[in-house]
């Protein structure tokens, strides 16, 4: 058996084991990696887990006991901070930069950056987008598919595009 055949057999075995044990099918990378070990390697807080397929850019600080779901983007090119005990659902995109002015000025203007801060105990629903420079307060809830383009106070629930208090 060559290396490719061995890898395929290992993949099939791991995939079958995850389906039987947890009722889920994961991407290749997520079968071969440990979410908690990746979080530790990235310098994130104790008890935090992050899927292999999450894109992490730049200066990203993540607290303790945070769950980062699959297919997320954590853009820390302008500094991103996520507090303790947060749930970042699948497909969430959190940005600290954008290239609007650079593109529309034909490259004359620089990339804009601003820190984004997610407080402690925050839930961000699937597919939500958090724009650069936004601060989300402690224990806030962001509804699925919301686009957050302004600050969200502590203990507030928002949803929609753009996100509004509900």
Domain limits, the chain: 1-32, 35-165
> What's the rounded mean pLDDT across residues 51-67?
97
Q: Which of 65, 85, 97, 98 is catalytic?
A: 97
The pLDDT tens digits of the residues spanning 67-114 come to 999 999 999 999 999 999 999 999 999 999 999 999 999 999 999 999
Per-residue confidence band for 27, with pLDDT thresholds at 50, 70 and 90: confident
Please state which CATH class domain 35-165 belongs to. mainly beta
Q: List, in sequence order, every beta strand (DSSP E) within the chain.
A: 49-50, 55-62, 67-68, 73-82, 87-88, 93-94, 97-98, 112-113, 116-118, 123-124, 129-130, 135-136, 141-142, 147-148, 157-159, 164-165
> What's the rounded mean pLDDT across residues 118-141?
98
97 is catalytic: yes
| Mean per-residue pLDDT of the chain | 96
Residue 1 has pLDDT above 80, yes or no: no
Among the listed residues 144, 119, 150, the one whose alpha carbon sits nearest the alpha carbon of residue 132: 150
The pLDDT tens digits of the residues spanning 12-26 come to 999 999 999 999 898
Here the tokens at position 13 are 């075995």
Give me the DSSP letters along 18-47: HHHHHS----HHHHHS-HHHHHHHTTPPTT
């Amino acid at each position: 058996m060559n290396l490719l055949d061995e890898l395929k057999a290992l993949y099939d075995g791991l995939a079958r084991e995850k389906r039987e044990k947890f009722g889920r099918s994961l991407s290749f990378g997520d079968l071969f990696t440990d979410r908690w070990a990746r979080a530790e390697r990235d310098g994130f807080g104790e008890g935090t887990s992050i899927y292999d397929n999450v894109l992490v850019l730049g200066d990203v600080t993540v607290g303790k006991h945070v769950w980062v779901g699959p297919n997320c983007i954590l853009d820390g090119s302008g500094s991103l901070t996520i507090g303790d005990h947060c749930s970042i659902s699948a497909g969430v995109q959190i940005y600290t930069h954008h290239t609007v002015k650079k593109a529309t000025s034909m490259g004359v203007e620089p990339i804009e950056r601003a820190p984004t801060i997610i407080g402690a105990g925050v839930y961000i629903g699937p597919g939500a987008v958090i724009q650069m420079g936004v601060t989300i307060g402690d224990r806030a809830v962001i509804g699925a598919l919301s686009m957050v383009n302004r600050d969200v106070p502590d203990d507030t629930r928002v949803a929609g595009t753009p996100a509004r208090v509900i």
